[in-house]
Chain A
Amino acid sequence: MPEILDQARDQVLHNGVGLDEAGVLAVLNLPDEHLSATLQLAHEVRMRWCGPEVEVEGIVSLKTGGCPEDCHFCSQSGLFTSPVRSVWLDIPSLVQAAKQTAATGATEFCIVAAVRGPDDRLMKQMREGVAAIKAEVDIQVAASLGMLTQEQVDELVDMGVHRYNHNLETCRSYFPNVVTTHSWEERWETLRMVRESGMEVCCGGILGLGETVEQRAEFAAQLAELDPHEVPLNFLNPRPGTPLGDRPVVEGRDALRAIAAFRLAMPRTILRYAGGREITLGDLGTRDGLLGGINAVIVGNYLTTLGRPATDDLKLLDELKMPVKALSATL
């Protein structure tokens, strides 16, 4: 057994203290022959500190495309020649999407908008939309609307949004290579306000943007410092027309190593499979990740791309004897 795994067993599994940046890097650099032992340990850590439940979430795009920002991976930026056109979802369709999500057994419904930050029109749409969902559907509502002002944070709390997603996307040192229209620190500031408001903080990112292994470890350590309630882990799905459109997808075993390493950095967080897992990991890899530290999934489709059928994921969870987290347990 490599020394780092012995150390992790003692420190993370037994004492609940996450690995630091150097420890995460050591895990990411482990050779393939130790991958299954690493996943096994990360799974034990997840079971010990989070339990067997899996949190299921659906996401929907309230406002798609036409974003003024230049995140190089994103097909919704209006600055690239992406084929994604700007479109708004109406409230009846939003409520319908929430109902479809709840019907899968999901307890989380996240409303997302492709914006730098909300304007009055978006906040008004949110107020009406969240109220309509709460009146008709038994599900917790989360939101992801970009950078917020303090007034907007307070308004979202008032609407009853219980969790706010704002991804740092990548580590601080690599961020300027990926986004030039705003800074990592601006994102951090929104996260700070969200945390102070009492909303749950959801913050993750995307692997495979061209960051080094060292920068992946840096990112895990920075997330651990933020200590979010939830960390959604995406793998780059290279989008036509974006600056990263020609990048290769992350190798399955590197993705799995990263899942385990992030779990060992953050033993108690909700570590969610988000976009890109279908192409990076496929069906078999999806299972390996759920047995390697993941304890939450986005089911169904993503914002501009499609996921595998929700029923496939639910069947897999059943096979793995991992119960879907119930609403009563989360309230």
Chain B
Amino acid sequence: MPAVAAQTWCDRCGEAAASGAHEQCAAARALEPPRYCARCRRRMKVQVLPIGWSAICVEHGEIRS
């Protein structure tokens, strides 16, 4: 899982990673898949499976756990 600090956008709340605090987002992400693409802020198509998840950004492709 990429570190939140290295991203342009918070992958949980979709706000700029550099503005504001995202500690709560980072903590919540332990039990949630990402929802926003950290590179372009698009909402991703996320599929949670019993084991693992996948998230697709139309621009930046798929990430998986």
- A contact set with B: CB distance below 8 Å: 58-61, 64, 83-85, 87, 89, 93, 96-97, 100-101, 104, 240, 278-279, 299-307, 310
Contact = CB atoms under 8 A, between A and B. Distances in A.
B50 A101 contact: yes
A185 to B, nearest CB: 31
Nearest to B29: A306
Contacts, number: 66
Contact of A84 (B31, B35, B52): B35
Interface residues of B, number: 20
Contact of B49 (A84, A97, A240): A97
A299 B50 contact: yes
Contacts of B44: 85
Interface string B22-65: 00000000111101100000011111111111000000000000
Given A85-B46, A301-B48, A306-B48, A240 B33 contact: no
Contact of B43 (A85, A302, A303, A306): A85
Contacts of A64: 46-48
Nearest to A64: B47
B13 interface: yes
A301 B49 CA distance: 6
The CB with the most chain B CB atoms within 10 A, among A83, A85, A89, A305, is that of A83
A83 B35 contact: yes
B43 A300 contact: no
16 contacts: A60-B48, A60-B49, A61-B48, A64-B46, A83-B14, A83-B36, A87-B46, A87-B47, A97-B49, A104-B50, A300-B51, A304-B32, A304-B48, A306-B32, A306-B33, A306-B48
